[in-house]
Amino acid sequence: MKKYGIGVIGLGMGSGLLLINNVSNSNLEVIGVCDIVFDKAEKLKREYNLKYAVKDYKELIEKEGIDIIAVFSPDHLHAEQCITALEAGKHVICTKPMVTSIRDAKKIVKLVDEKKLKFLTGQTMRYNPEFTAIKKMYDDGDLGKIIMAEAHYVHDLRPVFKMTPWRMEVPQDVMYGGTCHPVDALRWFLGDVDEVFAYGIKGNINSGYPLKANYLINLKFKNGVIARVLAAFDIIHPPMPEMGISIFGSKGSAIGEFTDYLPGKTKVVLDKFEGNIESVMVHPAETVGAYGHGYSVKRFLNHFDYCLENNLTPSPSARDGAKAISVCEAAWESIESGKPVKVFNGF
């Protein structure tokens, strides 16, 4: 029997966590699942021989042997479910976005600190090899000092809205639900954001979606580096990688390119090699069966396991998740005001 039992709330992307049950050297095991569509939970219980299948997330939190709650429900439910789990003394893994307001982010960070619990925000860009390769080169000094950077996430959401209609009905605010990915990726390299200036526009591709869903965000970091984010979700998918990070350093430049279900690439040019020779690393697709981001999910679960065993703070932490939300909230304020906005970092 494994050491830590996981209860998963939300069995869309959340079902991907069941992959850890087949990892023999992991201390983690999904033992319970929860979904408002109870038949879905019951089916997975039978298929994976789980202990629990429930419809009410509070019931799952109270079950014996549940040490970790994994929140993979719709965005607007994250705050309530994470807070309830933390108050019950459970460690938490929460898919992105952690929450959708600074107010809720503050509550979660405070609870994590008070209860001395582990909290991982599931921003998978930190666990994609296309991007971890760049981070390794940067940490090793190969790229030198960062001069500028950019990150993007572009996604035609029409098929996603059809598969998950709550996104249209609530509606989901994709500034938080999508833009947090490239924002967190840049924070991973550059730390806290000091100020943002942003534009937003509707594409009117997703008929009936009421919010602006295409954004250009300029960021000034506290260390003085400037960067930009392209986040576009109300578009016809362009012929480019779905996610990307570009780091422009004093010794070299590197670009990571990721599209779910397809091989990814890391491209690098180092100034020490005459002629600006481009090197390219090709990474296998991240898909595991029907699970997009499957290998990345396994990586962040292994990381969470290591943090539990060694009493370390997971990455991205609750504070990381909160600060990504803070940048998104400042971006909305900038879009509405037409002015630069300072970012709150006092978590």
Per-residue pLDDT of the chain in tens (347 residues, 90 and over written 9) = 789 999 999 999 899 999 999 999 999 999 999 999 999 999 999 999 999 999 999 999 999 999 999 999 999 999 999 999 999 999 999 999 999 999 999 999 999 999 999 999 997 899 999 999 999 999 999 999 999 999 999 999 999 999 999 999 999 999 999 999 999 999 999 999 999 999 999 999 998 999 999 999 999 999 999 999 999 999 999 999 999 999 999 999 999 999 988 999 999 999 999 888 999 999 998 776 555 567 888 999 999 999 999 999 999 999 999 999 999 999 999 999 999 999 999 99
Please report the pLDDT score of residue 123 as a whole number: 76
CA distance 245 to 123: 14
Residue 34, token pair as written in the block: 């929860």
Q: How far is CA 238 from the centre of its chain?
A: 22
Q: How far is Cα 273 from Cα 293, in angstroms, rounded to an integer?
A: 34
Rounded Cα distance between 72 and 91, Å, is: 14
Report the distance separating Cα 155 and Cα 164, nearest Å: 15
> In the prediction, which pLDDT does 286 show?
79
pLDDT of residue 289: 57
DSSP 8-state code for residue 180: H
Domains observed in the chain: 4-124 (3.40.50.720), 126-295+323-342 (3.30.360.10)
Residue with tokens 């997971």: 314
CA distance 35 to 60: 10
Around 152, how many Cα atoms within 13 Å sit in the side-chain half-sphere? 18
Residue type at 112 in one-letter notation: V
Do the beta carbons of residue 184 and residue 320 sit within 8 Å? yes
H/E element, 301: helix 294-310
- pTM, two decimal places: 0.96
